Amino acid sequence: MKHFTKLAVAAALGTVIGTAAVAQELYTPNLAYRTGPFAATGIPLMNGQADYMTMLNQRDGGIGGATIDFEECETGYSTEKGVECYEKTKGEAIVTQPWSTGITLQVLPKTNVDEIPILAPGYGFSPMADGTVFQWAFNMPAGYWDGADMIIQHLEAEGSLEGKKIAFLHLDHPFGKEPLPVMEMHAENKGFELLPIPVGLNEMQNQSAQWLQIRRERPDYVVMWGWGAMNAGAITEAVKTKFPMENFVGVWWAGHDADLKLVGEDGKGYKSISWSFPNLDAPLMKEIKEHVIDAGLSQTNEEEMQGVFYGRGLVMSAILAEGIKNAQENFGTADIDATQLRWGLENINLTQERIVELGMEGMVPPFSTSCANHTGHSGGWMLEWDGAKFVKASDLIMPNVDAYADLIQNAAEEYATSNAPWDRNEECSVSN
């Protein structure tokens, strides 16, 4: 009984203090994964995302006067925990950031009913580009189909692909299968042979069978759609089988510094397409150092901060912050809700001037979104491993979206029909 009285008194006290302390706060939870099999790649991204928001809170007192509550809900990349986190946070949240493709697939239909924007920068379902159908989902600045197209463009720049053979090493999972439609389309149009080689979730670390097949088939290029332990496995295996590294290209999630540090010099020439680049000289990095790292508010470290993934985390949060700012300016209130944030995310116009203003020069290509275009199709750079770090190896490559606009539309249509009744954005008159 004594405990209970104590508890009750404390509870009453707590409520009083709690109500007094309420300031304008925007709740943007992140469904993080710092544990589990993908933690090694997750941690730098999560740190980058969190640090950018902490920097805004410290330097500017949040965005437009409202502080950002960038709480993390740990999923360990498991879909069950993902649902738990989504249900837990959706009441207050103005945005949901689901992270894994599996969680995105589960959450995507629910956000359409719950009316919460889902921000999946550079991942998720490529047809989300069609904003008229997926009115609550965003995967800017670039989708997987953009990535596949940019990689093929880059390879074509090295010489015609006619009669060549491209092995497509991918995780046997919705994420890995995602770019297949665009790869197949290009294979048909450009006359190269596409050889899909799936890597099961159980065999990520031991890919000897897959690389034996690659040795036997002698492809001209290997394109990799890998994640987590699969990348390190593939890169070490490629070095072991002496596959020419300059003919090995990965998606942006296969460009993690730690994976390549394992092989160091031997990995020289490995490439990864990316819509972000860690420009260590950018003013933003100094701000982060001053307001977050030196203040002891970050979990990151010196080495991680220089990596591609940390920089990408910063870019992701910057995109979200830009959406929030747009919404605040348009609706004239700091305390925006989920629907207003959707407007903000649909009207992002990240021009080169704005990127410089944010202190992020060279860290992200300029792009803009509309109610019909939820991806932005920013394009990206081909990054190359020089033996110690990733460097830009190409100018900005722009995806040729027209070539697969029909694919996007058909896939989006198909999704909407199989999930009928599906609410669309009928008011949007802009075309993709």
Partner 1 sequence: MLYRTAGQFKTSYIADQALFPVRQDAFLLGIILIFGWVIFPMTASEFTVQTLLIPILIYALAAMGLNILTGFAGQLSLGTGAFMGVGAYACYKIITIFPELNPVIAILLSGFFSAGIGVAFGIPSLRIKGFYLAIATLAAQFFLAWLFEKWSWLYNYNASGAIQVPNSEAFGIFVMGPQAASITEYYIVLFVVTLLTVLCINLTRGNLGRTWKATRDMDIAAELIGINLLKSKLTAFAVSSYIVGVAGALYVFMWKGAAEPNVFYIQLSFQVLFIAIIGGLGSIMGNYLGAILIVGLPVVLNVVAGTQVFEMSTGSAILLIVLIAVATFLFGVARNLWGMGAAIGFGAVTLIYGYAQLHGFRIESAMIEHINVMIIGALIIFFLIIEPHGLNQLWRLIREKLIIWPFPH
The 46-85 site mask, x for binding partner 1 (CB under 8 A), equals -------------------------xxxx-x--xx--xx-
CB 120 → partner 1: shortest distance, Å? 14
- Cβ(71)–Cβ(334) below 8 Å: no
Q: What are the DSSP calls for 334-376, one per residue?
A: SS--HHHHHHHHHT-EE-HHHHHHTT-TTTS--EE--SSBSS-
Residue 79 or 306 having the CB closest to partner 1: 79
- What track of x and - describes contact with partner 1 for positions 125 through 144 (by CB under 8 A)? x-------------------
**Least distance (Å) from partner 1 to the CB of residue 298?**
12
- Position 67, amino acid: T
Q: Indicate the residue among 32 and 382 with the shorter CB distance to partner 1.
A: 32
Nearer to partner 1, 32 or 239 (CB): 32
Distance CA 271, CA 292 (A): 31
Q: Which is nearer to partner 1, 300 or 369 (CB)?
A: 300
Looking at the Cβ atoms of 39 and 403, the one nearer to partner 1 is 39
22 near partner 1, rule: CB under 8 A? no
Regarding 230 and contact with partner 1 (CB under 8 A), the answer is no
424 contacts partner 1 (rule: CB under 8 A): no
Q: What is the DSSP letter of 289?
A: I
Alpha helices (H) in 248-307, listed in sequence order: 257-261, 283-288, 302-305
| 125 contacts 144 by C-beta, under 8 angstroms | no
* Helix (H) or strand (E) run with residue 390 in it: strand 390-392
Q: Residue 104 Cβ, how far from partner 1 at the closest point, in Å?
A: 9
As measured in angstroms, the least distance from the Cβ of 5 to partner 1 is 11
191-220 footprint of partner 1 as x/- string (CB under 8 A):
---------xxx------------------
String of contacts with partner 1 for each residue 275-314, x by CB under 8 A: ------------------------x---------------
Q: Which residue has the tokens 């020289």?
A: 268
Q: What is the DSSP letter of 396?
A: P
State which of residues 21, 22, 23, 420 lies at the interface with partner 1 (CB under 8 A). Answer: 420
> Taking each helix axis from N to C terminus, what angle separates 229-240 and 208-217, rounded to the nearest 10 degrees?
50
Specify the residue, 163 or 200, whose C-beta has the smaller distance to partner 1.
200
390-392 vs 165-171, strand pairing mode:
unpaired
* Closest among 280, 256, 268, 275 to 385, alpha carbons compared: 268
**Beta-bridge partner residues of 137:** 118
Window contacting partner 1 (CB under 8 A); options: 28-36, 152-160, 275-283, 393-401: 28-36
Q: Smallest distance from the beta carbon of 64 to partner 1, in angstroms?
A: 26
Contacts of residues 321-327 at CB distance under 8 Å and 24 or more positions apart, as own/partner, are 321/52, 321/53, 321/56, 321/63, 321/68, 322/348, 322/350, 322/354, 322/358, 323/119, 323/348, 324/26, 324/28, 324/63, 324/64, 324/68, 324/94, 325/63, 325/64
CA separation, residue 254 to residues 35, 75, 259, 309 (Å): 19, 21, 8, 10
Footprint of partner 1 on 145-184 (CB under 8 A): 172-174, 177-178, 180-181
Contact residue for partner 1 among 44, 64, 98, 102 (CB under 8 A): 102
Tokens of 260: 């390549």
Report the nearest approach of partner 1 to the CB of residue 378 (Å).
Answer: 23
Shortest Cβ distance from residue 32 to partner 1 (Å)? 7
As given in the structure block, the two tokens for residue 119 are 């921000």
Q: Does 32 contact partner 1 by CB under 8 A?
A: yes
Site membership for partner 1, residue 88 (CB under 8 A): yes
**Distances in Å between the alpha carbon of 342 and those of 135, 164, 290, 328?**
8, 44, 32, 11
Pick 72 or 246: Cβ nearer partner 1: 72
Which residue is it, tokens 């979104």?
Answer: 369
What is the chain's length? 432
5 scored as a contact of partner 1 (CB under 8 A): no
Task: Out of 8, 212, 262, 430, point to the residue binding partner 1 (CB under 8 A).
Answer: 8
Q: Which SS3 state, helix, strand or coil, does residue 305 take? A: helix
Least distance in angstroms from the C-beta of 238 to partner 1: 24
Is position 421 an interface residue for partner 1 (rule: CB under 8 A)? yes
Applying CB under 8 A, the site for partner 1 has a residue count of: 50
Per CB under 8 A, residues contacting partner 1 are 3-4, 7-8, 10-11, 13-15, 18, 32, 34-35, 71-74, 76, 79-80, 83-84, 87-88, 91, 101-102, 105-106, 109-110, 112-113, 125, 172-174, 177-178, 180-181, 200-202, 299, 411, 418-421
